[in-house]
């Protein structure tokens, strides 16, 4: 069994066995038919990957190219305009795209907007890389997607809202903070894509790869996903695949989807789960 599948199985079982239902509350999230989308959840769950393996599930197919496309859209394109996703037939944001074909001032917009730091005009991504290279011991390597002044101009409040980067003994560690994480659909996607981002940043800054930690404030399973997840965690996992990243890329802005290959990815079939909106 791959390490990612083992961690995921334990997380699902923890929520199933110890989680709290929200059925006594009014929830904003609904299914496509308008029915309230209730969840069972646990509070403040932490999962850590040592990154000796690629953390992608094998008990179902994870759409890995779409996961990388979303990360490139955020951190390389740094825009909330969905034209890039449309160009690559990625539909994951369709339910939250407005009439202007964007998601408002969320995610990529926050990463791409111009800011002044240390007297220099920059953006969060370029500042992070510059500081990792030149001030590695700092404990201020933080990316924030939560701008309280612009929350009302976002089509969806950021779920993964903050991440911090720490350099120790020549290794680049990443801590990702999520206010909310849909374990059935979002979590496998998020874990893999932030591993990819960590690999990208480590490559352009020259550090070895450290650990990847996810802090999940509300780790939940939707009621309609319960049966599908029970089926999934009973499947026998395969060995983890390998991720090739073009070693010639030294600038974060030069990455494209063609610079990534997921090798030897053996997996079980995808499992259909409804999207809550």
In percent, how much of the chain has pLDDT > 70?
A: 100
Instruction: Note if 44 is an active site residue.
Output: no
As given in the structure block, the two tokens for residue 44 are 């403040």
| Number of structural domains found in the chain | 1
Please indicate, yes or no, if residue 84 is contained in any of the structural domains: no
As given in the structure block, the two tokens for residue 272 are 């259909």
Give the pLDDT band (50/70/90) at residue 117: confident
The CATH number linked to 167 is 3.30.572.10
- Provide the pLDDT for residue 118: 84
Please indicate, yes or no, if residue 82 is contained in any of the structural domains: no
Give the structural domain span for 29.
3-62+140-263
* Beta strand spans in the chain (E): 20-21, 39-49, 115-117, 120-122, 142-144, 160-168, 171-178, 181-182, 208-222, 242-245, 260-263
Please indicate, yes or no, if residue 200 is contained in any of the structural domains: yes
Segment 8-37, tens digit of pLDDT: 999 999 999 999 999 999 999 999 999 999
Please indicate, yes or no, if residue 174 is contained in any of the structural domains: yes
Give the pLDDT band (50/70/90) at residue 147: very high
Please indicate, yes or no, if residue 131 is contained in any of the structural domains: no
Please indicate, yes or no, if residue 89 is contained in any of the structural domains: no
Please indicate, yes or no, if residue 78 is contained in any of the structural domains: no
Please indicate, yes or no, if residue 92 is contained in any of the structural domains: no
Farthest-apart Cα atoms in the chain, separation = 55
Catalytically annotated residue among 3, 92, 159, 275: 159
Segment 178-214, tens digit of pLDDT: 999 999 999 999 999 999 999 999 999 999 999 999 9
Say if CB 166 and CB 196 are below 8 A apart. no
pTM exceeds 0.75 for this model:
yes
């Amino acid at each position: 069994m791959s390490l990612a599948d083992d961690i995921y199985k334990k997380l699902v079982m923890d929520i199933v066995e110890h989680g709290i239902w929200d059925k006594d509350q009014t929830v904003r999230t609904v299914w496509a038919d308008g029915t309230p989308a209730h969840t069972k959840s646990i509070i403040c769950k932490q999962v850590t990957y040592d990154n000796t393996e690629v953390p992608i599930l094998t008990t179902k197919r994870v759409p890995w190219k779409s996961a990388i496309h979303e990360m490139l859209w955020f951190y390389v394109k740094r825009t909330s305009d969905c034209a890039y996703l449309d160009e690559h037939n990625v539909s994951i944001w369709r339910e939250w795209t407005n009439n202007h074909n964007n998601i408002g001032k969320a995610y990529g917009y926050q990463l791409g907007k111009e800011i002044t730091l240390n007297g220099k005009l920059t953006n969060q991504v370029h500042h992070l890389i510059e500081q990792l290279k030149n001030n590695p011991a700092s404990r201020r390597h933080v990316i924030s997607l939560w701008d309280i002044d612009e929350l009302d101009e976002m089509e969806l409040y950021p779920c993964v809202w903050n991440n911090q980067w720490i350099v120790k003994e020549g290794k680049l560690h990443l801590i990702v903070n999520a206010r909310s994480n849909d374990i059935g659909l979002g979590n496998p996607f998020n874990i893999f894509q932030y591993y990819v981002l960590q690999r990208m940043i480590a490559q352009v800054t020259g550090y070895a790869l450290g650990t990847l930690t996810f802090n999940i404030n509300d780790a939940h399973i939707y009621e309609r996903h319960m049966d599908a997840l029970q089926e999934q965690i009973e499947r026998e996992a395969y060995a983890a695949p390998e991720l090739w990243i073009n070693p010639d890329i030294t600038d974060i802005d030069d990455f494209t989807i063609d610079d990534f290959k997921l090798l030897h990815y053996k997996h079980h079939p995808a499992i259909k789960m409804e999207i809550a909106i």
